[in-house]
Amino acid sequence: MVIATTAFLLTALVQSDSTPQDTTQRSKTTVLPVVSYSETTGLQYGATLFRGFRVSDRTETRPSSVSLYVAFTAKKHAKAYGQLDRWSDDNATRSRARLEYISYPLPFFGIGGSTPDRAEEWYSSGVTTGHFFVERQWRGSVFVHGGVRYTRSRLRDVEAGGLLDQRAVPAAAGSDVLAASFGVVVDSRDDVGAPGAGTYMRLLPSVASKVLNADAAFRRLTVDVRQYRSLGAHVVAAQVQYDGLNGAAPFDLMPMIGADTALRGYPRGRYRDQHAFTSQVELRSTRWRRFGAVVFAGAGTVAPRLSELTSGAWFPSFGAGARYLLSPRYRTIVRADLAAGRNSFGIHLGIGEAF
């Protein structure tokens, strides 16, 4: 959670066009500096590169992208990732590959929806994640999904005497997890980067097994439903999401509340348990020149059992944000959101809409 000041410089330093004569198909590269400050990490500095392109000359082909991000902190932490998100020329196949490393300090409050703020303890770990999936069109807007994810986590620093120091939570010392996912995706969005209409739904069961030196074995189900509708000159976006486990997952992979895309305003993993449910709605304004604004609100809960999701405490989230259109051709936006939760707030930055 950022509790001091954050600056995100929205000036494109590098912009290259592969076919200058064609204003609809040419690719574009944008480089942005990223500078921020928080009391937990100190000064953070780095850069992000985003390149949008289409694999064919057809304007109806969905845009693909390559993105790179590198940032360091004054307290010797770092985050870096590279991602390729590619659509085929007929929009029948989507494939995405992502490799990420992160070593940032994070808060841990324990497991469950009743953990008090005074239970906060800080830790940092080096986490390497590799993720690859392919989605193939089956019929209309229905796609079949198959993917694999590998996560390697090693704790670097913990607070003496805390739950993590005592190894009182699953995989407190670190873990290796290999999981495969198979499911169905429905995608009728009019645009993948900044949707104005349509539906996006994921029904993704996944299984983690103790193979290739992996430590954890569990089953997971993720259900993610999003709807986009025009409301005059605005867009209303809504999302409901369920994430549930059967088995013992490492504490840092448990379903949780607190992220820069869902239940903004809470630090990552503020509440975590075997099951989590979140919902949010966002009103997005039309843009003036390249600038836009949003307001949003949501709520979520966690529980040890599915039957208890409706009986636990609910945690609200609300806020507002600004948008800047980097590329009208690919409808690529940069977002900056200020959000508040119960006894917490945060500033969240990113490329693309939150959902």
Lowest-pLDDT choice from 31-45, 58-72, 155-169: 31-45
* pLDDT, tens digit, 9 for 90 and up, residues 249-281: 999 999 999 888 888 988 888 999 999 999 999
Q: In the structure encoding, which two tokens stand for residue 271, read together? A: 């509440």
Write down the pLDDT at residue 157: 87
Q: Which has the closest alpha carbon to 300: 279, 320, 329?
A: 279
- Angstrom distance (rounded) from CA 5 to CA 7: 7
Q: Is a pLDDT exceeding 70 seen at residue 7? A: no
- Angstrom distance (rounded) from CA 254 to CA 104: 18
Bigger pLDDT: 240 vs 209: 240
Q: In the structure encoding, which two tokens stand for residue 116, read together? A: 């008090």
Asked if residue 105 belongs to a domain, the reply is yes
Number of structural domains (the chain) is 1
Cβ-in-10-Å burial (0-12, 13-18, 19+) of 51 comes to buried
Q: What is the mean pLDDT of residues 22-36?
A: 69
Asked if 352 and 335 touch (Cβ cutoff 8 Å), the reply is yes
Asked if residue 1 belongs to a domain, the reply is no
Mean pLDDT across the chain, nearest whole number?
87
Percent of the chain clearing pLDDT 70 (strictly above)? 90
Helices (H) then strands (E): counts for the chain: 0, 20
Strands 234-247 and 275-284: antiparallel
* pLDDT, tens digit, 9 for 90 and up, residues 315-348: 999 999 999 887 777 777 888 899 999 888 888 8
Write down the pLDDT at residue 111: 95
- Return contacts of 5-13, CB within 8 angstroms, 24+ apart: 5/36, 5/37, 6/36, 6/37, 6/38, 6/336, 6/347, 6/349, 7/35, 7/36, 8/32, 8/34, 8/35, 8/36, 8/334, 8/336, 8/349, 9/33, 9/34, 9/35, 10/324, 10/326, 10/334, 12/326
Q: Is a pLDDT exceeding 90 seen at residue 29? A: no
Q: Is a pLDDT exceeding 80 seen at residue 11? A: no
Q: In the structure encoding, which two tokens stand for residue 125, read together? A: 């770990």
Q: Is a pLDDT exceeding 80 seen at residue 39? A: no
Q: Is 119 helix (H, G, I), strand (E, B) or coil?
A: helix
Write down the pLDDT at residue 38: 62
Write down the pLDDT at residue 44: 81
Q: Is a pLDDT exceeding 90 seen at residue 82? A: yes
Write down the pLDDT at residue 312: 84
Confidence of residue 192 (pLDDT cuts 50, 70, 90): confident
Q: Quickly count: other Cβ atoms within 10 Å of residue 271's Cβ.
A: 28
Q: What is the CATH number of the domain that holds 124?
A: 2.40.160.50
Region of residue 232 (left: phi > 0; alpha: psi -120 to 50; beta: else): left
Asked if residue 115 belongs to a domain, the reply is yes
Which domain, by its residues, includes 97? 6-351
Write down the pLDDT at residue 42: 67
